[in-house]
Structure 1
């Protein structure tokens, strides 16, 4: 077993003191040179190991030249100074020598600091900021991945952190655009119950800043952002652009990473972002019991002292949504923020009103809502709802099979295996065109009946081998009544279903359901003649004569 140098020194000194062993005996016992024994007897602490000075023979002929280039950089514009890569390229262009990048990088890193010190440049240091209760806060966005409804998507974590107590409020959205930025502020201020009386520190985010005035703290703000912070009465402070300004709001920079590592790892799996934001509220309550660094009090205890110093909230919340009035194109789509969404086909070539939030897009015709979509994050994306095109598909059934709306319905799971089975059966019995029309008539039932009830009706129709949409509607109503809910979406709730174990009253007439027996085999054609109305016409004429 090998001993460390400190342990070896301790044993040599102990054996020399207890057993009075000589230097030669100690050297033989431990298998070391006598110089090391003398060193151990002279001092109980080993001398630090000398690190050999690293040399770079290939770099040696060009060190003075590189030093000149680095000294010239002291007077050059910041964005036009030499990098290690550029120095390596110049050495190859001017001297014909190709040095490894790591060799050039290590030399440049060491010499740049030394030359800056020789030039008398001031050392860059930092000061600890004093945070008064209820005064300052910090805001930032961070990327986070979420398994949303079975699909991994990139979302954004909004964080609003009070500087004194460290109390932070978070919200996840599909984008980091203006609506998400505004909604994060409204949510955070409502959770905190007040507004910071001092400064709120920001990066130069596009939702807030239109233009950074060169080499100054002045900013040209977005007008709606100016309206928001004026509405709540806080003062925004904008950090320096780039990495140089990150330390000016270091609390929230670390908070985003801490929250992502501790509460969003592994990747959360949820059906909706509302579910995830509900979980985040629970995580934030747990954070109130945590102590930051070496603080004596918890975050919750510090926030209890800070809350009375916050400014009161306005009576009403700020309206964060945006309103647009696009025109519906011939594909029954509207385009908002470079993304397309479908609306019912009866509104083609009409202007509609769009209410856009960070996560939702709602379409109105007048005061009536006609469509609702989850907001798309990106450019050139589109979301089409199959139900919006059913009237067109009744006249153009051949367009259904290759339609984008059907593809998206299959991907979302709204067009199920029950629909596929019914469609295939209808096409076999009625042909491709009429079979597709029968499917479209069934899809229209979803507007008035629950999705699960229609699926029950489809299963019954497939089992009976008939493609009658009337049968699907009837079986869907029966499934709803058996489950104790309203047979139609807009109907009033039905009374609770009777207890199936209760025996029927023998005094009441019993009803026999003949539908299953009649539909077990194909229905016969009705051969009865049409009614004749000539006699009724004679009665009408007779009545006119009497009245005259």
Structure 2
């Protein structure tokens, strides 16, 4: 006697098995519909469905009515219609609609009921009123080397211990998906142009067709509504894209044009989530951008969804098809011409930057770049500072004030320039030790002037060579700038000090290899017969001590010879 297993319906897969069992029993045993229904414990309607088709019919989800909302649907629709002509940032949210229904109409509705209705009706009303067409996307093909997209995105960085809001410039090639990312303290025109320059140099060329943009104020002065994609462009931006030979393509204003450069919109979020989460902790933005270059190299090995080749492989195909760069470089900085004040400072965007004191009272040319402030006297670069992110404060270079401090040495201890030099590490412990020793021997004023002369050596020698000269001079007890200069030149001639040896030891070894034993030494150590003389490498001094016997004769009166005048008078 044949046995039959019972099938329990618990899902779509079980219904498929149930239909298969019914069809098998009907085919093998030729059972009636009533018998099949009894055996499988289902309704005869289900048996007829199984015999008609092997695939179970799809179950329709039950329509969930909201009877309490029914009397208020017309009110909600009226609010959504009014939103079509309201400013984008002053349109009703589902929360606001719910609050109005409760306050104005005493409706007893849950927020989720109103939210679900608004979510469904808002796009329907827009289509019904002819404001938008039915939502749909058309796949696009981007030829290699033809197009790119640009956008800015906000990022937060722990910069030198302070949580700081910065701006990430993103340039993305449309065909390969390769992108350049740079973080700047601003999203102004100087950062906009600087990002382009770095992206062009990274990829070695410019797209041949166009680059897609939002209507950024760095590029667009005015959107001419009703005239298609015509824009009034910023003159410097016109000069820039004319210099590099590409055409800008401006997307529709607002959210309606976001899909026109969806590649870079998604790239901003992807890169921020993958590499900038959690917030990077760096000392400077230059350090962060160096890390970003490494992250971009790793991103070349990823595959975009639906593509067989990696981003790097597609980039190698696209790179030769880009238009080559022009031979002339373009300065992306914003040009300003401030006047130097009495403190040898120029004010740029509310921040003060120092210049050499000789330029006090003159106008200089400033190139304000995304991360640097370059200052020129004519065509000569006289100062190059990192751009300060804060809107106030100052960036001061101690070297710019050395000539003034030589006249006013008492101004050095409390100066802003010295404080910033200490903070950035330019004024090292070697300088501090020399200054302390020099003031102890030469006095405050002259000792500080000796330090200033030492600081002037940095203009003609590398910092590590001057520091080695300072340490060598301090080793032999000399606290004059002339000795430091001699030791610095000896250190340079010796090829520099080994990092694990004292600079003075290196100089001594080089002199011994050259067959010389003379060095700049302390006269005090030469006079004193103590072990320090041996440590300093000094030969013993065998000369007799000086005698004052001749002067003692004058005191005892033994010599009575008296000179006479030419006339013979005593």
TM-score by length of 2: 0.67
* 2:299 maps to 1:291: no
Rate the CA distance shift 1:145–1:461 in 2: closer, same or farther, 3 A: farther
Partners in 2 of 1:510 and 1:90 — Cα distance?
Answer: 95
Task: Quote the Cα distance in structure 1 between the aligned partners of 2:413 and 2:113.
Answer: 62
**How far apart, CA to CA, are the structure 2 residues paired with 1:101 and 1:423?**
73
User: What is the 5 A alignment of 1:42-61?
Assistant: 53=64
Match of 2:248, SS state, is: strand
Number of residue pairs aligned between Structure 1 and Structure 2: 486
Match of 1:68 in 2: 78
| Residue of structure 2 in register with 1:517 after alignment | 525
Query: Aligned pair 1:186/2:194, yes or no?
Result: no
Task: Name stretches of at least 5 consecutive residues in structure 2 with no aligned partner.
Answer: 1-7, 23-39, 497-505, 531-547, 549-570
Deviation at 1:182, TM superposition (A): 2.0
Is this contact kept in 2: 1:209–1:222, CA < 8 A? yes
Contact kept in structure 2, 1:155 and 1:174, CA below 8 Å: yes
Match of 2:118 among 82, 100, 108: 108
1:54-89 residue CA offsets vs partner (Å, 9 max, x unmatched): 8585x6764443333334445666666433354355
TM-score, normalised to structure 1's length? 0.69
Q: Which structure: larger Rg?
A: 2
Shift of 1:207: 1.6
Of 361, 365, 370, the match for 2:373: 361
Question: How far has the Cα of 1:208 moved from its partner?
Answer: 0.9
Q: 1:500 matched to which residue of 2?
A: 509
2:223 maps to 212
CA distance 1:511–1:420, change in 2 (3 Å): closer
For residue 141 of structure 2, the aligned residue among 105, 124, 130 is 130
Structure 2 contact 355–383 (Cα < 8 Å) conserved: yes
Where 1:326 maps in the other structure, the secondary structure is: coil
Local SS of the residue matching 1:445: helix
In the TM superposition, residue 211 of structure 1 has moved relative to its aligned partner by 1.5
The 8 Å contact of residues 423 and 435 in structure 1, kept in 2 or not, is answered as no
Structure 1 counterpart of 2:556? none
Q: Equivalent residue of 2:342, what SS?
A: coil
1:296-335 matches, cutoff 5 A: 296-307=308-319, 309-335=321-347
Distance 1:502 1:481 in 2: 9
CA contact (8 A) 2:434 2:451 kept: no
2 CA distance for matches of 1:403 and 1:56?
A: 77
- 1:161 corresponds to which residue? 172
Q: 1:415 to 1:46 in 2, by over 3 A?
A: farther
- Provide the C-alpha distance between the structure 1 equivalents of 2:318 and 2:92, rounded to a whole number of angstroms: 48
Deviates more, 1:234-243 or 1:118-127: 118-127
What is aligned with 1:24?
none
User: Is 361-370 or 388-397 further displaced after alignment?
Assistant: 388-397
Segment of structure 1 superposing worse, 315-324 or 261-270: 261-270
2:319 and 2:343 map into 1 onto residues whose CA distance is: 53
The equivalent residue for 2:561 is none
CA contact (8 A) 1:5 1:46 kept: no
CA distance in 2, matches of 1:509, 1:502: 6
2:252 is matched with: 240
CA distance in structure 2 between the partners assigned to 1:399 and 1:320 by the alignment = 38
SS of the residue corresponding to residue 253 of structure 1 reads helix
Partners of 2:432 and 2:518 in 1: CA distance: 38
Instruction: Name the SS for the 2:509 alignment partner.
Output: coil
1:148-547 to 2 correspondences below 5 Å:
154-215=165-226, 216-264=228-276, 277=289, 280-281=292-293, 283-307=295-319, 309-393=321-405, 400=412, 403-416=415-428, 435=444, 438-439=447-448, 441-449=450-458, 450-452=462-464, 469-470=479-480, 474=483, 478=487, 481=490, 500=509, 513-515=521-523, 517=525
* SS of 1:214 mapped into structure 2: coil
Cα deviation, 1:320-364, whole Å, max 9, x if unaligned, reads 344433210122211224432011233221222333433322223
Contact 2:344–2:360 under 8 Å retained in 1:
yes
Q: Secondary structure at the match of 2:151?
A: strand
Which residue is equivalent to 1:542? none
Partner of 1:493: none
Residues 155-193 of structure 1: CA deviation (Å, up to 9, x unaligned): 443332222232334444443322332233233334434
Instruction: Check whether the contact 1:135–1:198 (CA below 8 A) recurs between aligned residues.
Output: yes
Q: Secondary structure at the match of 2:329?
A: coil
Distance 1:312 1:167 in 2: 18
CA contact (8 A) 1:323 1:353 kept: yes
Cα pair 1:453 1:477 within 8 Å, conserved: no
Tell me the SS of whatever aligns to 1:500.
Answer: helix
Q: Deviations over 1:215-237 (max 9, x none)?
A: 54221101111112122222111
Q: Does the Cα contact within 8 Å between 2:438 and 2:479 map onto a contact in 1?
A: no
Cα distance 1:234–1:50, how it changes in 2: closer, same or farther (>3 A)?
closer
Q: CA deviation at 1:392?
A: 4.3
In structure 2, what is the Cα distance between the partners aligned to 1:231 and 1:148? 35
Matched, 1:84 2:97: no
Q: Give the match's secondary structure for 1:157.
A: strand
Distance 1:271 1:54 in 2: 59
Instruction: Rate the CA distance shift 1:53–1:480 in 2: closer, same or farther, 3 A.
Output: farther
List per-residue Cα deviations over 1:270-294 (Å, max 9, x = no partner).
6665565555555545544443222
- Indicate conservation of the 8 Å contact 1:203/1:241, yes or no: yes
